Amino acid sequence: MQANVAKPRYAGTKIQKLTYWLLYCRPGFEQDCAQDALRQAQQQSPVIVAQPPPILANSGYAVVALNEQALSYRELIFARQLIRLHQTIKALPERDRLTPILAAIATLPGTFGTLWLEVPDTNEGKTLSAFTRRFQPLLEAALREQGKLQDDIKLPRLHIFFPDKSSALFGTSDLHNSAASIMGIVRQSMPAEAPSRSTLKLAEAIEVFMDRSEQTRLLRQGMTAVDLGAAPGGWTWQLVKRGIRVTAVDNGPMKGILAKHPLVQHLKQDGFKYAPRKAVDWLVCDMVEQPSKVAKLIEEWFAAGLAKHAIFNLKLPMKQRVAALDSALNSIRTRFDNEGINYRMLAKQLYHDREEVTVFITRTKN
């Protein structure tokens, strides 16, 4: 750790080497992101950092310092990306950013397979991205010449994150423990036929939670699904486009091609009271309700064996967001354990999520 990364002081007598992690997140969720990461670390061993790095509100990123704990990207809810932070420069000269940046990279051990220049997902970040676009080919050429950047996608990625005009944070990500998209954002283009932008949320959830083989295995033509809170039909559209038959439950109208689609049965009923006569493959749910109420609903469906897989949203309250989320997810875990249900559950605040988190559950055999 060099340059201007805050010098840690250690609690206790044993001097410990700290690892700094840079996490990208939705602006406004920096505290939640850091809290979530620290909680994951605490589950392994106590986190002892006398002076934790400051969290900047609405910055779109957080830095956390850990002693020996590792973080698992997949298990982090609010982090869009997980980067091991090696160095920070805080006074980049505007006229020549290349020289200090090359000098900083020269001190990093090893070589890299990819160079990602990244900015926060904020208005300032949008302005800075004009600079990173211009700078990328220059820096790449210089790093190739020095042998620091090689055409080998198995090598770690080098990230340079520019939180503002004059700072740069240097880090690396492990290809097996990070997001595979720049800035950790899975961008989706809006399908012309889909009746609402919410469709992008389910499309992103499918990409983020399932690898290609799982997508092929779990989303097959001829399967059945129930969509609770379906109108106007963005999520239903993602399912019918894969040949899945959907019961769409909502008092509101289904729109566009979904108003009269052969694979869609629209029921104007209360999603909290509806139950299918026969079990379905998928339950998806986008009803705006308290997370505890949605969690209970999911528990009932799985306990009754009504669905094998689910994707649903948990709307976050204004305050105590991590606590409300923990309580909803723990309620599901406890109930499933009591019922002897084997499952895998992942939760993420997706790029297309606002004040909410998307959860994926799939029943497993053992």
Is 365 tagged catalytic? Answer: no
Q: Which CB sits closer to ligand SAM, 83 or 287?
A: 287
Out of 148, 201, 308, 315, which one is annotated catalytic? 315
Q: Which CB sits closer to ligand SAM, 235 or 336?
A: 235
Using the rule CB under 6 A, give the single segment among 16-24, 151-159, 224-232, 329-337 that binds ligand SAM: 224-232
Q: Which of 198, 247, 358, 362 binds ligand SAM (CB under 6 A)?
A: 198
Residue 291 sits in the site that holds ligand SAM (CB under 6 A): no
Per CB under 6 A, which of residues 155..194 are in contact with ligand SAM?
none
Residue 233 sits in the site that holds ligand SAM (CB under 6 A): yes
Whether the CB-CB separation of 77 and 46 falls below 8 Å is answered with: no
Query: What does the radius of gyration of the chain's CA atoms come to, in whole angstroms?
Result: 23
Q: Which of 231, 280, 324, 350 binds ligand SAM (CB under 6 A)?
A: 231
Closest to 271 measured CA to CA, from 218, 226, 328: 226
- As a three-state string, the secondary structure of 106-139 is HCCCCCECEEEEECCCCHHHHHHHHHHHHHHHHH
The pair of three-digit structure tokens given for residue 1, joined into one six-digit string: 């750790």
**Distance, CA of 203 to CA of 189 (rounded, Å):** 10
Neighbours of 90 (CB within 10 A): 13
Q: Which CB sits closer to ligand SAM, 173 or 196?
A: 196
Minimum separation from the CB atom of position 21 to ligand SAM (A): 33
Residue 199 sits in the site that holds ligand SAM (CB under 6 A): yes
Residue 8 sits in the site that holds ligand SAM (CB under 6 A): no
What DSSP string runs through 207-251? HHHS-HHHHHHHS-TT-EEEEET-TT-HHHHHHHTTT-EEEEE-S
Minimum separation from the CB atom of position 201 to ligand SAM (A): 7
Using the rule CB under 6 A, give the single segment among 49-57, 80-88, 210-218, 267-275 that binds ligand SAM: 267-275
How is residue 149 annotated by DSSP?
Answer: B
Q: Which of 106, 130, 141, 252 binds ligand SAM (CB under 6 A)?
A: 252
Residue 250 sits in the site that holds ligand SAM (CB under 6 A): yes
Residue 232 sits in the site that holds ligand SAM (CB under 6 A): yes
Name the packing angle between helices 321-339 and 30-42 (round to 10°).
Answer: 40
What DSSP string runs through 271-302? TTT---SS-EEEEEE-----HHHHHHHHHHHH
Q: Measuring CA to CA, how many Å separate 197 from each of 33, 108, 203, 242, 258?
A: 25, 42, 10, 18, 14
Residue 36 sits in the site that holds ligand SAM (CB under 6 A): no
Q: Which of 259, 288, 304, 323 binds ligand SAM (CB under 6 A)?
A: 288
Within 8 A by CB and 6+ apart from 33, the residues are 23, 25, 62, 76, 78, 79
Closest to 75 measured CA to CA, from 49, 41, 52: 41
**Residues binding ligand SAM: what is the number (CB under 6 A)?**
20
Site string for ligand SAM, 319-358 (x = CB under 6 A): ----------------------------------------
Q: Which of 62, 234, 308, 316 binds ligand SAM (CB under 6 A)?
A: 234
Residues near ligand SAM, by CB under 6 A:
196, 198-199, 229-235, 249-252, 270-272, 286-288
Catalytic center residues: 315
